[in-house]
Structure 1
Amino acid sequence: MNVAVRRQDRSGWIRQYHEPAAGGPTLVCFPHAGGSAASYFRLSAELSQAAEVLIVQYPGRQDRMGEAAVEDVRELADRVCEALMPWREGALALFGHSMGSVVAYETGLRLQHGPVGRSPVGLIASGRTAPSVRRDRGLHRRDDAGIIAEMAELSGTDPALLNDAEMLAVVIPPMRSDFRAVETYQSDPGTRLRCPITAYGGDADPHVSHDDLVRWGEHTASAFATRLFSGGHFYLQQGLSEVVAAVRKDLDGFRAGHLE
């Protein structure tokens, strides 16, 4: 998916697709394993009426195809924090889906303890077990056929792509690197954010249960809530309007200091 970029930082890590709302919070979105910034284009279009939506572009995909993928969640978070330096003012919230949830969490920890005092006001963690739960399904050790099978099972990939050998040759290497990053990651014991966390999930996700989402509550010293949506791992694609409404509600709650 090729879309016009309104603004990006010099490092290439941050994209902005739409004119932001005046006076709204900044929402930083982190893609799933194998995903690109463009995967949040529709969400950005809807939420930019209420927030300044920034989207992370990991190396190794789309216009960053020539760069080596980063295979460590903590290094990804370090690099994102550096890239966010130009956005120092106002409320900042984080949204991550699947692998993006733990990258967002580690980014939040760095912002919370960083020199610029830019603690996030809230984190929305979607489609992912809590940082304290290490779940290695061996995806990064699979051959190409095994990774294609995982893509098909999760129903987040255009079926036409699964039969396009040329495109798969481009997509699979960064996806394997992302799987390695997330499957070898586990948070340091006892780490918590000071801000609220909301955990989102699909009620038919084959790999992330409601109990898995509840474990995110262990990683905040503030308010916590879970929200279930109809659908599987990529419930966001089918239920965009419901997700947008929930995110807007949570952004308001983050800024007010409470969740409903």
Structure 2
Amino acid sequence: MFFELAERLHGRLAVEAIDLPGRGSRYHNAPLRRVSDAVGFMMPLLRDFPHRGYALFGYSMGALVAFELTRKLQEAAGALPAFLVVAAARAPQVPARDDPIHLMDDQSLFGELVRFQGTTPELLNNQELIALLLPRLRADFELCETYVFREGDRLPFPVYAFGGHDDETVTVADLAAWSEVAREGTTCEQFRGGHFFINQQAGVLADRIAAFAEEAIHPQSSVSGTTGNG
């Protein structure tokens, strides 16, 4: 689902996509079930970044991983990103409101997959592929639902939080709460769509990210607040 976003950023920003175990080029590896394991996996991949400016983008589960990855970099005195973009994700200190999905049986878990509306009908009707997907989906939910937020210093850069107007799992208040873990200048914005609004809004999202990068390179003014957009 990130291909269109990467294509729209081509020529403006260099995009480095990271496949966690259990997906993409690492599909045959066992999926990770704890945020700390995902952070530990990604830390060595950032070794080359001290020599160039960079930002982190995390969608849904990826937002939580990106946040904790940044905290780990702070602790290790590593080169920090210029900013963090998160999408379809509650701020890390906001508690979950629903029962744990990773403890559901396969039929109920499949129902959650349908509810999130991020999977094509062709895939939903393919029982063999669904049987392969569900264990990885369960691991993703376990990674998020076993996470425990710890108090710490605010991130020393802005966070840009995006969500979908129709996302029942992430409200505008959940997005605005990212301002509690980052410095002044953090913003949130909603687009038309649900949890996977990126499928309809990749172009707008790419424009926003490119503008943030330009502002980080040539800072002129900071903007804060909560807005709604289409």
TM-score by length of 1: 0.80
The count of aligned residue pairs is 221
Asked if residue 129 in structure 1 is aligned to residue 96 in structure 2, the reply is: no
1:176-215 deviation line (CA, Å, top 9, x unaligned): 0110000111321134211111110111111111011010
Q: Is the 8 A contact 1:197 1:224 kept in 2?
A: yes
Find 1:92's aligned residue among 48, 54, 57. 54
> In the aligned structure 2, how far is the partner of 1:208 from the partner of 1:100?
14
Q: Which moved more, 1:77-86 or 1:194-203?
A: 77-86
Contact 1:133-1:186 at 8 Å conserved across structures: no
**Partners in 2 of 1:81 and 1:217 — Cα distance?**
25
Instruction: Please state how far the C-alpha of 1:240 moved relative to its aligned partner.
Output: 1.5
Classify the secondary structure of the residue corresponding to 1:239.
helix
1:45 aligns with 2:7: yes
| Residue matched to 1:229 | 191
- Give 2:203's aligned amino acid: S
In structure 1, stretches of 5+ residues that fail to align are: 1-38
Distance 1:255 1:106 in 2: 24
**Amino acid in the other structure paired with 2:69:** T
Name the counterpart of 1:3. none
1:197 correspondence with 2:165: no
RMSD: 1.6
- SS of residue paired to 1:238: helix
> Higher relative contact order at CA 8 Å, sep ≥6: structure 1 or structure 2?
2
Residue aligning to 2:127 = 165
2:228 match: none
CA contact (8 A) 2:163 2:191 kept: yes
Q: Which of 213-222 and 57-66 deviates more?
A: 57-66
Matches within 5 A, 1:30-179: 39-115=1-77, 117-135=78-96, 137-179=99-141
- 1:108 Cα offset (Å): 1.3
Q: Which has the higher helix share?
A: 2
Label 1:191 to 1:166 Cα distance change in 2 as closer, same or farther (>3 A).
farther
Inter-CA distance 103–162: structure 2 relative to 1 (3 Å threshold): same
Say if 2:145 is the partner of 1:183.
Answer: yes
Separation in structure 2 between the aligned mates of residue 113 and residue 54 of structure 1, nearest angstrom: 23
| One-letter code aligned to 1:127 | A
Do 2:87 and 2:161's aligned partners in 1 also have CA atoms closer than 8 Å?
yes
- Counterpart of 1:69 in 2: which secondary structure? coil
CA distance in 2, matches of 1:248, 1:259: 16
Percent of paired sites with the same residue: 31
* 8 Å Cα contact 1:203-1:231 kept in structure 2: yes
Q: Give the match's secondary structure for 2:16.
A: strand
Per the TM alignment, residue 69 of structure 1 is displaced from its structure 2 partner at its CA by 1.2
C-alpha contact (below 8 Å) 1:198/1:226 kept by paired residues: yes
Q: Secondary structure at the match of 1:91?
A: coil
Which residue pairs with 2:215 in the alignment? 253
